[in-house]
Protein backbone atom coordinates (compact mmCIF):
# COMPACT_ATOMS: atom_id res chain seq x y z
CA UNK A 1 0.00 0.00 0.00
CA UNK A 2 1.19 3.50 -0.82
CA UNK A 3 2.57 5.24 2.26
CA UNK A 4 0.30 8.21 1.47
CA UNK A 5 -2.84 6.03 1.40
CA UNK A 6 -5.74 7.80 3.12
CA UNK A 7 -7.03 5.54 5.88
CA UNK A 8 -10.06 7.48 7.03
CA UNK A 9 -13.59 7.65 8.29
CA UNK A 10 -16.77 9.38 7.16
CA UNK A 11 -19.84 11.07 8.64
CA UNK A 12 -22.49 13.65 7.78
CA UNK A 13 -23.81 16.84 9.35
CA UNK A 14 -27.45 15.81 9.95
CA UNK A 15 -26.41 12.51 11.51
CA UNK A 16 -23.82 14.11 13.80
CA UNK A 17 -24.32 17.78 14.53
CA UNK A 18 -27.74 18.26 16.14
CA UNK A 19 -28.31 21.90 17.20
CA UNK A 20 -30.74 22.09 14.30
CA UNK A 21 -31.72 25.73 14.87
CA UNK A 22 -28.57 26.99 16.60
CA UNK A 23 -26.79 30.17 15.53
CA UNK A 24 -29.13 30.95 12.66
CA UNK A 25 -29.24 27.53 10.99
CA UNK A 26 -32.28 26.96 8.79
CA UNK A 27 -34.44 23.87 8.54
CA UNK A 28 -33.27 21.09 6.23
CA UNK A 29 -35.02 18.14 4.66
CA UNK A 30 -33.41 15.92 7.32
CA UNK A 31 -35.23 17.95 9.97
CA UNK A 32 -38.64 16.76 8.71
CA UNK A 33 -37.81 13.04 8.43
CA UNK A 34 -38.93 10.99 11.43
CA UNK A 35 -37.21 8.08 13.13
CA UNK A 36 -37.81 4.64 11.61
CA UNK A 37 -36.64 1.13 12.38
CA UNK A 38 -35.94 -2.35 11.03
CA UNK A 39 -39.54 -2.79 9.89
CA UNK A 40 -40.70 0.82 9.91
CA UNK A 41 -39.88 3.28 7.15
CA UNK A 42 -38.91 6.85 7.95
CA UNK A 43 -41.66 9.37 7.19
CA UNK A 44 -41.51 12.81 5.60
CA UNK A 45 -43.73 15.39 7.31
CA UNK A 46 -44.99 18.78 6.18
CA UNK A 47 -42.86 20.83 8.52
CA UNK A 48 -41.85 19.92 12.06
CA UNK A 49 -44.60 18.28 14.14
CA UNK A 50 -44.15 18.67 17.89
CA UNK A 51 -45.56 15.22 18.65
CA UNK A 52 -43.07 13.41 16.39
CA UNK A 53 -39.40 12.59 16.88
CA UNK A 54 -36.78 13.81 14.41
CA UNK A 55 -33.28 12.41 15.08
CA UNK A 56 -31.44 15.19 13.24
CA UNK A 57 -32.62 17.80 15.74
CA UNK A 58 -30.16 16.61 18.38
CA UNK A 59 -28.20 13.71 16.83
CA UNK A 60 -25.01 13.17 18.88
CA UNK A 61 -24.58 16.93 19.45
CA UNK A 62 -21.32 17.18 17.49
CA UNK A 63 -22.02 20.90 17.11
CA UNK A 64 -21.13 21.26 20.78
CA UNK A 65 -18.84 18.25 21.27
CA UNK A 66 -16.70 18.55 18.13
CA UNK A 67 -13.55 19.38 20.08
CA UNK A 68 -13.77 16.13 22.09
CA UNK A 69 -14.86 14.09 19.06
CA UNK A 70 -12.03 15.30 16.84
CA UNK A 71 -9.58 14.31 19.57
CA UNK A 72 -10.91 10.76 19.22
CA UNK A 73 -10.16 10.91 15.49
CA UNK A 74 -6.63 12.04 16.25
CA UNK A 75 -6.15 9.23 18.76
CA UNK A 76 -7.53 6.75 16.23
CA UNK A 77 -4.81 7.93 13.86
CA UNK A 78 -7.02 8.84 10.90
CA UNK A 79 -5.21 10.13 7.83
CA UNK A 80 -8.40 11.68 6.46
CA UNK A 81 -11.91 12.52 7.58
CA UNK A 82 -14.87 12.96 5.27
CA UNK A 83 -17.71 15.07 6.64
CA UNK A 84 -20.38 17.34 5.24
CA UNK A 85 -21.06 21.02 5.58
CA UNK A 86 -24.72 21.82 6.17
CA UNK A 87 -25.82 24.21 3.43
CA UNK A 88 -28.48 25.57 5.84
CA UNK A 89 -25.81 26.64 8.34
CA UNK A 90 -24.18 28.77 5.64
CA UNK A 91 -27.32 29.97 3.83
CA UNK A 92 -30.22 29.17 6.21
CA UNK A 93 -32.85 29.33 3.48
CA UNK A 94 -30.56 28.39 0.62
CA UNK A 95 -31.26 31.65 -1.20
CA UNK A 96 -30.28 34.22 1.44
CA UNK A 97 -28.48 37.34 0.14
CA UNK A 98 -25.52 36.87 2.50
CA UNK A 99 -23.94 33.84 4.20
CA UNK A 100 -24.37 33.17 7.91
CA UNK A 101 -21.03 33.97 9.52
CA UNK A 102 -21.82 31.91 12.63
CA UNK A 103 -22.20 28.80 10.50
CA UNK A 104 -18.94 29.45 8.70
CA UNK A 105 -17.19 30.05 12.02
CA UNK A 106 -18.22 26.58 13.20
CA UNK A 107 -16.70 24.89 10.16
CA UNK A 108 -13.61 27.10 10.49
CA UNK A 109 -13.01 25.47 13.87
CA UNK A 110 -13.66 21.94 12.61
CA UNK A 111 -11.40 22.27 9.57
CA UNK A 112 -8.63 24.12 11.37
CA UNK A 113 -8.59 21.46 14.08
CA UNK A 114 -8.40 18.64 11.53
CA UNK A 115 -5.55 20.36 9.70
CA UNK A 116 -3.68 20.93 12.97
CA UNK A 117 -4.01 17.20 13.70
CA UNK A 118 -2.62 16.27 10.29
CA UNK A 119 -5.97 14.85 9.17
CA UNK A 120 -6.95 15.54 5.54
CA UNK A 121 -10.44 17.11 5.49
CA UNK A 122 -12.70 15.80 2.72
CA UNK A 123 -15.89 17.85 2.37
CA UNK A 124 -19.27 16.82 1.01
CA UNK A 125 -21.39 19.83 0.08
CA UNK A 126 -24.80 18.13 0.39
CA UNK A 127 -25.38 14.97 2.43
CA UNK A 128 -29.12 14.43 3.08
CA UNK A 129 -29.63 17.91 4.58
CA UNK A 130 -30.75 20.15 1.77
CA UNK A 131 -32.32 23.51 2.88
CA UNK A 132 -36.04 22.84 3.29
CA UNK A 133 -36.96 26.26 1.92
CA UNK A 134 -35.54 25.31 -1.47
CA UNK A 135 -37.86 22.31 -1.59
CA UNK A 136 -40.93 24.29 -0.56
CA UNK A 137 -40.23 27.44 -2.61
CA UNK A 138 -38.61 26.07 -5.76
CA UNK A 139 -39.48 22.39 -5.95
CA UNK A 140 -35.88 21.51 -5.18
CA UNK A 141 -33.79 20.14 -8.05
CA UNK A 142 -36.70 20.03 -10.48
CA UNK A 143 -35.97 23.76 -10.76
CA UNK A 144 -32.92 24.95 -12.68
CA UNK A 145 -32.60 27.98 -10.38
CA UNK A 146 -31.01 25.72 -7.81
CA UNK A 147 -27.86 25.36 -9.89
CA UNK A 148 -26.90 29.00 -9.37
CA UNK A 149 -27.87 28.88 -5.68
CA UNK A 150 -25.73 25.78 -5.21
CA UNK A 151 -22.79 27.36 -7.04
CA UNK A 152 -22.98 30.42 -4.80
CA UNK A 153 -22.88 28.16 -1.74
CA UNK A 154 -20.00 26.14 -3.21
CA UNK A 155 -18.05 29.29 -4.06
CA UNK A 156 -18.53 30.65 -0.54
CA UNK A 157 -17.04 27.62 1.20
CA UNK A 158 -14.42 26.83 -1.44
CA UNK A 159 -13.00 30.33 -1.29
CA UNK A 160 -13.14 30.21 2.51
CA UNK A 161 -11.23 26.92 2.72
CA UNK A 162 -8.84 27.34 -0.18
CA UNK A 163 -5.52 25.81 0.79
CA UNK A 164 -7.12 23.79 3.60
CA UNK A 165 -9.54 21.49 1.77
CA UNK A 166 -8.30 19.73 -1.35
CA UNK A 167 -10.96 17.05 -1.90
CA UNK A 168 -14.61 17.98 -2.43
CA UNK A 169 -17.79 16.02 -3.18
CA UNK A 170 -20.91 17.72 -4.48
CA UNK A 171 -23.67 15.24 -3.57
CA UNK A 172 -23.90 12.08 -1.51
CA UNK A 173 -25.11 8.87 -3.21
CA UNK A 174 -26.71 10.72 -6.10
CA UNK A 175 -28.00 7.50 -7.65
CA UNK A 176 -30.43 7.14 -4.74
CA UNK A 177 -32.25 10.17 -6.15
CA UNK A 178 -33.58 7.60 -8.63
CA UNK A 179 -35.97 5.40 -6.58
CA UNK A 180 -35.71 1.69 -7.30
CA UNK A 181 -39.10 0.88 -5.75
CA UNK A 182 -42.11 2.40 -4.00
CA UNK A 183 -40.45 2.03 -0.59
CA UNK A 184 -37.53 4.22 -1.62
CA UNK A 185 -39.37 7.56 -1.64
CA UNK A 186 -37.80 8.70 1.64
CA UNK A 187 -34.37 7.66 0.35
CA UNK A 188 -34.94 9.65 -2.86
CA UNK A 189 -36.14 12.64 -0.83
CA UNK A 190 -32.97 12.56 1.28
CA UNK A 191 -30.88 12.51 -1.90
CA UNK A 192 -32.62 15.32 -3.76
CA UNK A 193 -35.17 17.08 -1.58
CA UNK A 194 -37.94 16.16 -4.03
CA UNK A 195 -41.18 14.46 -2.97
CA UNK A 196 -41.83 12.52 -6.16
CA UNK A 197 -45.37 11.57 -5.09
CA UNK A 198 -46.38 15.15 -5.81
CA UNK A 199 -45.50 14.85 -9.50
CA UNK A 200 -47.83 13.33 -12.06
CA UNK A 201 -44.94 12.35 -14.34
CA UNK A 202 -42.41 10.97 -11.86
CA UNK A 203 -39.99 9.77 -14.53
CA UNK A 204 -39.74 13.25 -16.04
CA UNK A 205 -39.29 14.77 -12.58
CA UNK A 206 -36.46 12.35 -11.77
CA UNK A 207 -34.79 13.08 -15.12
CA UNK A 208 -34.97 16.83 -14.44
CA UNK A 209 -33.62 16.43 -10.91
CA UNK A 210 -30.67 14.31 -11.97
CA UNK A 211 -29.86 16.53 -14.96
CA UNK A 212 -29.70 19.65 -12.81
CA UNK A 213 -27.61 17.94 -10.09
CA UNK A 214 -25.16 16.59 -12.66
CA UNK A 215 -24.89 19.97 -14.39
CA UNK A 216 -24.35 21.64 -11.01
CA UNK A 217 -21.53 19.18 -10.37
CA UNK A 218 -19.81 19.90 -13.69
CA UNK A 219 -20.07 23.63 -13.07
CA UNK A 220 -18.70 23.13 -9.56
CA UNK A 221 -15.66 21.36 -11.01
CA UNK A 222 -15.00 24.37 -13.24
CA UNK A 223 -15.59 26.75 -10.34
CA UNK A 224 -13.23 24.88 -8.01
CA UNK A 225 -10.45 24.78 -10.59
CA UNK A 226 -10.81 28.53 -11.11
CA UNK A 227 -10.46 29.10 -7.34
CA UNK A 228 -7.59 26.69 -6.77
CA UNK A 229 -6.09 24.38 -9.38
CA UNK A 230 -5.12 21.97 -6.59
CA UNK A 231 -8.75 21.31 -5.68
CA UNK A 232 -10.17 17.94 -6.70
CA UNK A 233 -13.92 17.56 -7.17
CA UNK A 234 -16.14 14.52 -7.56
CA UNK A 235 -19.62 13.25 -6.79
CA UNK A 236 -20.49 10.24 -4.67
CA UNK A 237 -22.27 7.18 -6.05
CA UNK A 238 -23.60 4.28 -4.03
CA UNK A 239 -22.09 1.19 -5.59
CA UNK A 240 -24.35 -1.86 -5.42
CA UNK A 241 -23.00 -4.55 -7.77
CA UNK A 242 -25.78 -6.38 -9.59
CA UNK A 243 -24.96 -10.00 -10.36
CA UNK A 244 -27.01 -12.16 -12.76
CA UNK A 245 -29.04 -14.89 -11.06
CA UNK A 246 -27.83 -17.50 -13.56
CA UNK A 247 -25.69 -17.75 -16.68
CA UNK A 248 -28.90 -17.48 -18.69
CA UNK A 249 -28.05 -14.68 -21.15
CA UNK A 250 -31.35 -13.00 -20.27
CA UNK A 251 -30.35 -12.80 -16.60
CA UNK A 252 -26.95 -11.45 -17.60
CA UNK A 253 -28.54 -8.79 -19.79
CA UNK A 254 -30.97 -7.89 -17.00
CA UNK A 255 -28.05 -7.26 -14.65
CA UNK A 256 -26.39 -5.06 -17.28
CA UNK A 257 -29.52 -2.99 -17.89
CA UNK A 258 -30.20 -2.52 -14.18
CA UNK A 259 -26.61 -1.41 -13.62
CA UNK A 260 -27.01 1.32 -16.24
CA UNK A 261 -29.31 3.28 -13.91
CA UNK A 262 -26.33 3.77 -11.61
CA UNK A 263 -23.49 3.95 -14.12
CA UNK A 264 -25.01 6.58 -16.40
CA UNK A 265 -24.48 9.25 -13.75
CA UNK A 266 -20.74 8.64 -13.68
CA UNK A 267 -20.69 8.19 -17.45
CA UNK A 268 -21.96 11.76 -17.80
CA UNK A 269 -19.44 13.22 -15.35
CA UNK A 270 -16.44 11.20 -16.51
CA UNK A 271 -17.05 11.31 -20.26
CA UNK A 272 -18.65 14.74 -20.49
CA UNK A 273 -21.95 13.76 -22.06
CA UNK A 274 -25.03 11.61 -21.59
CA UNK A 275 -24.50 8.04 -22.87
CA UNK A 276 -26.47 6.83 -25.87
CA UNK A 277 -28.17 4.05 -23.90
CA UNK A 278 -29.70 6.55 -21.47
CA UNK A 279 -30.72 9.05 -24.14
CA UNK A 280 -32.47 6.29 -26.05
CA UNK A 281 -34.26 5.10 -22.92
CA UNK A 282 -35.48 8.65 -22.29
CA UNK A 283 -36.63 8.96 -25.89
CA UNK A 284 -38.67 5.77 -25.72
CA UNK A 285 -40.29 6.98 -22.48
CA UNK A 286 -41.13 10.40 -23.93
CA UNK A 287 -38.78 12.19 -21.54
CA UNK A 288 -37.09 15.42 -22.63
CA UNK A 289 -34.03 16.71 -20.81
CA UNK A 290 -34.09 20.42 -19.83
CA UNK A 291 -31.08 21.30 -21.98
CA UNK A 292 -30.14 24.95 -22.51
CA UNK A 293 -27.34 26.54 -24.57
CA UNK A 294 -24.00 26.16 -22.82
CA UNK A 295 -24.90 22.95 -21.01
CA UNK A 296 -23.07 20.71 -23.46
CA UNK A 297 -19.87 22.73 -23.05
CA UNK A 298 -20.16 22.65 -19.24
CA UNK A 299 -20.51 18.87 -19.21
CA UNK A 300 -17.63 18.47 -21.66
CA UNK A 301 -15.21 20.68 -19.75
CA UNK A 302 -16.37 19.97 -16.20
CA UNK A 303 -15.52 16.29 -15.85
CA UNK A 304 -14.77 15.06 -12.33
CA UNK A 305 -11.24 14.54 -11.01
CA UNK A 306 -11.68 11.21 -9.25
CA UNK A 307 -14.26 8.51 -8.51
CA UNK A 308 -15.88 8.35 -5.07
CA UNK A 309 -18.31 5.67 -3.96
CA UNK A 310 -19.89 4.03 -0.95
CA UNK A 311 -20.07 0.26 -0.66
CA UNK A 312 -22.30 -1.73 1.67
CA UNK A 313 -24.05 -4.46 -0.29
CA UNK A 314 -24.65 -6.27 -3.58
CA UNK A 315 -27.76 -7.44 -5.40
CA UNK A 316 -28.90 -10.16 -7.81
CA UNK A 317 -30.98 -9.61 -10.97
CA UNK A 318 -33.35 -12.08 -12.61
CA UNK A 319 -35.78 -11.96 -15.51
CA UNK A 320 -38.09 -14.20 -13.50
CA UNK A 321 -40.25 -11.49 -11.94
CA UNK A 322 -41.96 -14.00 -9.64
CA UNK A 323 -38.69 -14.27 -7.69
CA UNK A 324 -38.00 -10.54 -7.48
CA UNK A 325 -38.66 -8.55 -4.30
CA UNK A 326 -37.43 -5.46 -2.49
CA UNK A 327 -33.91 -6.05 -1.18
CA UNK A 328 -31.36 -4.31 1.02
CA UNK A 329 -33.87 -2.39 3.14
CA UNK A 330 -35.42 -0.71 0.09
CA UNK A 331 -32.18 0.27 -1.64
CA UNK A 332 -32.65 -2.26 -4.45
CA UNK A 333 -34.97 -4.77 -6.07
CA UNK A 334 -33.78 -8.28 -6.85
CA UNK A 335 -33.56 -11.77 -5.39
CA UNK A 336 -31.78 -13.36 -2.45
CA UNK A 337 -28.16 -14.42 -2.89
CA UNK A 338 -27.81 -17.89 -1.30
CA UNK A 339 -24.04 -17.45 -1.01
CA UNK A 340 -24.22 -14.37 1.22
CA UNK A 341 -25.36 -13.53 4.73
CA UNK A 342 -27.27 -10.37 5.59
CA UNK A 343 -27.18 -7.89 8.45
CA UNK A 344 -30.18 -7.61 10.82
CA UNK A 345 -31.28 -4.66 8.66
CA UNK A 346 -31.23 -6.76 5.49
CA UNK A 347 -27.98 -5.56 3.87
CA UNK A 348 -26.07 -8.33 2.11
CA UNK A 349 -22.51 -8.87 3.37
CA UNK A 350 -20.27 -9.24 0.33
CA UNK A 351 -16.57 -8.37 0.77
CA UNK A 352 -15.66 -9.61 -2.73
CA UNK A 353 -18.18 -7.12 -4.08
CA UNK A 354 -15.84 -4.32 -3.01
CA UNK A 355 -13.01 -5.72 -5.13
CA UNK A 356 -15.50 -6.23 -7.96
CA UNK A 357 -16.67 -2.61 -7.67
CA UNK A 358 -13.14 -1.21 -7.65
CA UNK A 359 -12.24 -3.21 -10.76
CA UNK A 360 -15.38 -2.30 -12.68
CA UNK A 361 -15.11 1.41 -11.89
CA UNK A 362 -11.39 1.69 -12.58
CA UNK A 363 -11.53 -0.26 -15.82
CA UNK A 364 -14.53 1.77 -16.99
CA UNK A 365 -13.22 5.26 -16.16
CA UNK A 366 -9.45 5.05 -15.58
CA UNK A 367 -9.61 7.66 -12.83
CA UNK A 368 -8.19 7.50 -9.29
CA UNK A 369 -10.70 6.09 -6.81
CA UNK A 370 -11.56 6.84 -3.21
CA UNK A 371 -13.82 4.54 -1.19
CA UNK A 372 -15.69 7.10 0.89
CA UNK A 373 -17.98 4.81 2.89
CA UNK A 374 -17.88 1.17 3.99
CA UNK A 375 -19.11 -0.29 7.25
CA UNK A 376 -21.62 -2.36 9.17
CA UNK A 377 -24.26 -1.33 11.67
CA UNK A 378 -25.37 -3.44 14.58
CA UNK A 379 -26.95 -3.40 18.01
CA UNK A 380 -24.30 -3.34 20.72
CA UNK A 381 -24.18 -3.63 24.48
CA UNK A 382 -22.05 -1.58 26.81
CA UNK A 383 -20.73 -3.91 29.53
CA UNK A 384 -18.50 -2.54 32.30
CA UNK A 385 -17.50 0.36 30.09
CA UNK A 386 -16.52 -1.84 27.14
CA UNK A 387 -18.02 -2.80 23.78
CA UNK A 388 -16.83 -6.03 22.18
CA UNK A 389 -17.70 -5.57 18.49
CA UNK A 390 -15.75 -8.41 16.94
CA UNK A 391 -18.37 -8.69 14.18
CA UNK A 392 -17.30 -5.24 12.94
CA UNK A 393 -13.62 -6.17 13.02
CA UNK A 394 -14.30 -9.31 10.97
CA UNK A 395 -16.48 -7.40 8.49
CA UNK A 396 -13.93 -4.64 7.91
CA UNK A 397 -11.01 -7.06 7.86
CA UNK A 398 -12.59 -9.07 5.03
CA UNK A 399 -13.37 -5.92 3.06
CA UNK A 400 -9.86 -4.50 3.49
CA UNK A 401 -8.40 -7.81 2.27
CA UNK A 402 -10.42 -7.37 -0.94
CA UNK A 403 -9.43 -3.70 -1.14
CA UNK A 404 -5.76 -4.67 -1.01
CA UNK A 405 -6.23 -7.35 -3.68
CA UNK A 406 -7.81 -4.77 -5.98
CA UNK A 407 -4.87 -2.42 -5.47
CA UNK A 408 -1.92 -4.80 -5.25
CA UNK A 409 -3.03 -7.59 -7.60
CA UNK A 410 -5.50 -5.96 -9.98
CA UNK A 411 -3.69 -2.64 -10.34
CA UNK A 412 -6.58 -0.40 -9.33
CA UNK A 413 -5.51 3.17 -8.49
CA UNK A 414 -7.32 3.57 -5.17
CA UNK A 415 -5.90 6.23 -2.85
CA UNK A 416 -8.29 6.17 0.12
CA UNK A 417 -10.62 4.03 2.21
CA UNK A 418 -13.13 5.48 4.68
CA UNK A 419 -15.14 3.50 7.17
CA UNK A 420 -18.65 4.51 8.08
CA UNK A 421 -18.18 5.79 10.70
CA UNK A 422 -15.55 6.63 13.36
CA UNK A 423 -18.09 7.65 16.03
CA UNK A 424 -21.61 6.27 16.51
CA UNK A 425 -24.22 8.50 14.90
CA UNK A 426 -27.85 8.44 13.79
CA UNK A 427 -28.45 5.98 10.94
CA UNK A 428 -29.48 7.72 7.73
CA UNK A 429 -31.58 4.84 6.41
CA UNK A 430 -33.51 4.04 9.61
CA UNK A 431 -32.97 7.08 11.83
CA UNK A 432 -31.93 4.82 14.69
CA UNK A 433 -29.09 5.47 17.11
CA UNK A 434 -28.90 1.84 18.16
CA UNK A 435 -27.90 0.79 14.65
CA UNK A 436 -24.29 1.53 15.51
CA UNK A 437 -21.46 1.90 12.99
CA UNK A 438 -18.69 3.57 14.96
CA UNK A 439 -15.38 2.70 16.57
CA UNK A 440 -16.37 5.01 19.42
CA UNK A 441 -19.53 4.18 21.38
CA UNK A 442 -21.91 7.04 22.15
CA UNK A 443 -24.17 6.44 25.14
CA UNK A 444 -27.50 7.43 23.59
CA UNK A 445 -30.58 5.33 22.75
CA UNK A 446 -32.98 5.59 19.80
CA UNK A 447 -34.73 8.53 21.48
CA UNK A 448 -31.28 10.08 21.92
CA UNK A 449 -31.54 9.79 25.68
CA UNK A 450 -28.47 8.94 27.74
CA UNK A 451 -25.23 10.41 29.03
CA UNK A 452 -23.76 10.98 25.57
CA UNK A 453 -20.44 9.70 26.89
CA UNK A 454 -17.89 8.52 24.29
CA UNK A 455 -16.08 5.20 24.82
CA UNK A 456 -13.71 3.34 22.46
CA UNK A 457 -14.83 -0.12 21.29
CA UNK A 458 -12.56 -3.08 20.59
CA UNK A 459 -12.67 -2.11 16.90
CA UNK A 460 -11.15 1.28 17.75
CA UNK A 461 -7.86 -0.29 18.75
CA UNK A 462 -7.99 -2.73 15.83
CA UNK A 463 -8.44 0.04 13.21
CA UNK A 464 -5.85 2.16 14.98
CA UNK A 465 -3.34 -0.64 14.36
CA UNK A 466 -4.50 -1.13 10.76
CA UNK A 467 -3.71 2.52 10.09
CA UNK A 468 -0.42 2.43 11.97
CA UNK A 469 0.72 -0.62 9.96
CA UNK A 470 -0.62 0.83 6.68
CA UNK A 471 -2.93 -2.14 6.28
CA UNK A 472 -0.30 -4.80 6.89
CA UNK A 473 -1.71 -5.96 10.23
CA UNK A 474 -5.34 -7.00 9.98
Where are the domains positioned within the chain? 6-468
Helix H, strand E, coil C: the string for the chain is CCCCCEEEEECCHHHHCCCCCHHHCCCEHHHHECCCCCCCCCCECCCCCCCCCCHHHCCCCHHHHHHHHHHHHHHHCCCEEEEECCHHHHCCCCCCCCCCHHHHHHHHHHHHHHHHCCCEEEEEEECCCCEHHHHHHHCHHHCCHHHHHHHHHHHHHHHHCCCCCCEEEEECCHHHHCCCCHHHHHHHHHHHCCCHHHCCCHHHHHHHHHHHHHHHHHHHHHHHHHHCCCCEEECEEEECCEEECCCCHHHHHHHHHHHHHHHHHHHHHHHCCCCHHHHHHHHHHCCCCCCCCCHHHHHHHCCCCCEEEEECCCEEECCCHHHCEEEHHHCEEECCCCCCEECCCCCEECHHHHHHHHHHHHHHHCCCEEEEECCCCECCCCECCECCCHHHHHHHHHHHHHHHHHHHCCCCCEEEEEEECCECCCCCCCCCCCCECCCEEECCCCCCCCCCCEEECHHHHHHHHHHHCCCCCC
pTM for this predicted structure? 0.96
pLDDT at 322: 85
pLDDT at 355: 99
For domain 6-468, give the fold.
TIM Barrel (3.20.20)
pLDDT under 50 in the chain at which residues?
none
pLDDT at 393: 99
Question: Could you read off the pLDDT of 304-324 as tens digits, one per residue?
Answer: 999 999 999 999 999 998 888
Which residues form the catalytic set? 173, 373
pLDDT at 40: 79
pLDDT at 324: 83
Amino acid sequence: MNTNFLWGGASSAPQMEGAYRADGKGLTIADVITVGGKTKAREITAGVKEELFYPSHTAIDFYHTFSEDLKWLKKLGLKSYRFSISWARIFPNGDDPEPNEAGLAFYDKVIDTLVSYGIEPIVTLVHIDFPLNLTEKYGSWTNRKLIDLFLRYAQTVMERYKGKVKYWLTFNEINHAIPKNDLASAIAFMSSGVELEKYENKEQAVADVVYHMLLATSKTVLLAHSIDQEMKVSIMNSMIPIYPDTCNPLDVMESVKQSEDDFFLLDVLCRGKYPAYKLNKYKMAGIKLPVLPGDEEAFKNGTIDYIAFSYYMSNVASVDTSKVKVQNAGFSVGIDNPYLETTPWGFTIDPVGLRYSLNVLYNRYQLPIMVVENGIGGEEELVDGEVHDNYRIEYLKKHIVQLKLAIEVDGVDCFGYHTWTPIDLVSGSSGEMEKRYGFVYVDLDNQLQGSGKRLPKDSFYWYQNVIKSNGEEL
